[in-house]
């Protein structure tokens, strides 16, 4: 192709995506995007037609988390664009690189309340890393290149590009930019050497250090460095929900997840530590509990690429801004190997004394048992989850050993996320088994995507932990509202296996513990999308649990009463 070639904005759009190696788009067409969809008809870019725009954003999100690449979604103007909002907010809260393209009414009609017009750049301003309204097709190549760059660099996040219909039909001389120059956007990647030396000194002096790893470790690909740091220091490692998989949960130094539904020993270790090495984590409220009771005797080393996160919730004594992988490499060079200590022995004792527990002799199906059996039969699967009890049981009982294998909605806590995210993850990683561990309430919110999975031959597996309740809300009603189950019963849920079969998927119902393993094996052996309906104990709760307003060492454990 010559340096400059005349083409329409829609042709330029497709050419730009080719230049950026975009292989797949999740979306739904509409009138304001017809020029682009007409060009996609002859393109080798794979377009996956979802059944709801929210699912397009979640699928792009799951694709991005599983692959590390930018996920792309698209929706038409007005309600199509506004239906992306929840997915964009979800990606923004969890620092996921997606780019959303939206159709818009012609530029001459903007602001006139035209049919299917919505000010989507205004609406999404608080929930995107950046957004654009393209007013001139000649700027389109620069904007698309910038959008994908901004989404994937520094602290990743969603970017939205709004495309008026006349911009798509306008003819331009196409020339793709070689470089990006963004004034004021220069993310810091290398940590300050003096701060790294200060951190090393504090670490070597600490007697009770703990490593607290978050989603930033996944994003930076710093899992090998995290493992090296822990083994050099013989320091225990606890993770946030989004940090799961960054450190092998089967490793002797692993404490699992910390916080509201974290392990008892992780919470005790965090509380009694004298030094917290926080890496790519933001000290959110689900981790810290009551702030005045959080690690009262600990100094804090806080490593994060986003300076706005440092000292936002918990004051950092030694802040280090930059990419976790780069910083950990330099930090390890400054450290000497530490021997096993009394601190290690104390934590080992806690781990033996306070294991995760549930009734293993029950004649009913226990959700924890289902998760354990999924792990036993498919330990290398990518696990997506919905939100609520199913999410916590997956986090607690599946032994994750690799990053980018746990796909879940952390900050926003979006019900309906897991199934479309699993579809996106499977598209990005076709050779991997992808399983959505779901609740009946969450799955219903985007169950229409069974059509997407079946028609596009995306054989994801869904394990519904069906308790016929909005389970986590019901748990709080049981514990704190005298079992007044207001608007949480789902007694009229559909027959999920029949629903699956109606879409052309395989449906399996399981009512006995003895049938759990065979059902999972049948699902794994199938080349179709599969929905397994596990009829679990209706009033099973997630434990351990830190009540709202309590310190993280004030824990309700299995079998205990408030």
Active-site annotation holds for 334: no
Tell me the CA distances in angstroms from 362 to 24, 43, 320, 376, 534, one per residue in order.
Answer: 45, 55, 49, 20, 15
Q: Provide the terminal-to-terminal Cα distance of the chain, rounded to the nearest Å.
A: 71
Q: Among all chains, which residue has been given the structure tokens 């917290």? A: 276
Closest CA to 76 of 45, 50, 94: 50
The three-point CA angle 440-472-433 to 5° equals 50
Strand partners, 464: 438, 533
**DSSP H helical segments within 68-174, as ranges?**
79-82, 85-93, 120-124, 140-152, 165-169
Task: Collapse the DSSP code of 106 into the 3-class scheme (helix H, G, I; strand E, B; otherwise coil) and give the result.
Answer: coil
Residue 185 tokens, joined: 């956007």
| In contact, 283 and 217? CB cutoff 8 Å | no
Catalytic residue at 174?
no
The continuous run of DSSP H or E covering 2 comes out as: none
Please tell me the distance from the alpha carbon of residue 109 to that of residue 19, in angstroms, as a whole number.
31
Residue among 53, 117, 330, 372 flagged as catalytic: 53
Question: In Å, how far from its chain's centre is CA 22?
Answer: 21
Asked if 426 is an active-site residue, the reply is no
Examine the residue annotation and report whether 545 is marked as an active-site residue of this protein: no
Q: Which of 4, 5, 6, 115 is catalytic?
A: 115
472 CB contacts (<8 Å, ≥6 apart)?
387, 388, 389, 392, 542
| 472 classed as catalytic | yes
Of the residues 372, 472, 477, 543, only one is catalytic, namely 472
CB of 100 closer than 8 Å to CB of 129: no
Residues 6 or more apart whose CB falls under 8 angstroms from that of 310 comprise: 302, 304, 316, 319, 321
Residue of 15, 74, 129, 165 marked catalytic: 165
The torsion angles phi and psi of 293, rounded to 5 degrees, stand at -105, 5
State the pairing for strand pair 5-8/171-174: antiparallel
The distance from CA 186 to its chain's CA centroid, rounded to whole angstroms, is 25
Q: Report the catalytic residues.
A: 53, 115-116, 165, 472
């Amino acid at each position: 192709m010559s340096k400059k070639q005349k083409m329409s904005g829609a042709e330029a759009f497709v050419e730009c995506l080719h230049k950026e190696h975009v292989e797949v788009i999740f979306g739904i067409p509409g009138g304001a995007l017809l020029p682009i969809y007409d060009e996609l008809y002859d393109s080798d870019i794979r377009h996956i037609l979802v059944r709801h725009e929210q699912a397009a954003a979640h699928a792009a999100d799951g694709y991005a988390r599983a692959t590390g690449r930018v996920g792309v979604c698209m929706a038409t103007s007005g309600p199509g664009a506004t239906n992306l909002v929840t997915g964009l907010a979800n990606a923004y809260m969890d620092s996921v690189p997606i780019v959303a393209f939206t159709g818009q009414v012609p530029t001459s009609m903007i602001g006139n309340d035209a049919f299917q017009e919505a000010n989507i750049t205004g609406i999404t301003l608080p929930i995107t890393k950046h957004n654009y309204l393209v007013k001139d097709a000649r700027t389109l190549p620069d904007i698309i290149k910038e959008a994908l760059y901004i989404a994937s660099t520094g602290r990743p996040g969603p970017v939205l590009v709004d495309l008026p219909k006349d911009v798509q039909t306008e003819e331009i001389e196409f020339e793709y930019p070689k470089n990006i120059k963004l004034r004021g956007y220069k993310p810091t990647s290398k940590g300050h050497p003096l701060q790294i030396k200060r951190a090393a000194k504090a670490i070597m002096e600490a007697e009770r250090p703990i490593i607290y790893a978050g989603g930033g470790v996944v994003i930076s690909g710093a899992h090998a460095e995290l493992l090296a740091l822990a083994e050099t220091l013989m320091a225990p490692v606890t993770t946030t929900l989004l940090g799961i998989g960054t450190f092998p949960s089967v490793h002797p130094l692993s404490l699992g997840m910390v916080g509201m539904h974290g392990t008892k020993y992780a919470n005790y270790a965090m509380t009694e530590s004298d030094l917290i090495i926080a890496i790519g984590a933001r000290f959110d409220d689900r981790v810290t509990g009551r702030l005045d009771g959080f690690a009262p005797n600990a100094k804090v080393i806080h490593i994060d690429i986003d300076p706005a996160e440092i000292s936002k919730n918990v004051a950092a004594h030694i802040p280090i801004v930059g990419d976790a992988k780069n910083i950990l490499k330099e930090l390890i060079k400054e450290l000497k190997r530490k021997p096993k200590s009394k601190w290690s022995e104390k934590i080992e004792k806690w781990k033996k004394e306070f294991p995760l527990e549930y009734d293993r002799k029950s004649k009913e199906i226990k959700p924890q048992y289902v998760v354990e059996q999924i792990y036993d039969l498919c330990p290398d699967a990518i696990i997506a989850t919905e939100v609520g009890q199913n999410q916590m049981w997956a986090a607690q009982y599946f032994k994750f050993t690799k990053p980018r294998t746990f796909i879940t909605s952390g900050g926003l806590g979006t019900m309906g996320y897991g199934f479309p995210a699993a579809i996106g993850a499977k598209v990005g990683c076709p050779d991997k088994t992808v399983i959505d561990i779901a609740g009946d309430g969450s799955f219903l919110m985007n169950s229409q995507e069974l059509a997407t999975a079946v028609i596009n031959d995306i054989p994801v597996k869904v394990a519904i932990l069906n308790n016929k309740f909005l389970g986590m809300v019901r748990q709080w009603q049981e514990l704190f509202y005298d079992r007044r189950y207001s608007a949480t019963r789902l007694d009229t849920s559909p027959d999920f296996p029949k629903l699956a079969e109606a879409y052309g998927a395989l449906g399996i119902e399981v009512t006995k513990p003895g049938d759990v393993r065979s059902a999972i094996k049948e699902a794994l052996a199938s080349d179709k999308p599969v929905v397994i309906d596990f009829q679990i104990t209706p009033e099973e709760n997630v434990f351990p649990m830190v009540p709202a307003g309590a310190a993280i060492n004030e824990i309700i454990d299995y079998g205990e009463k408030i």
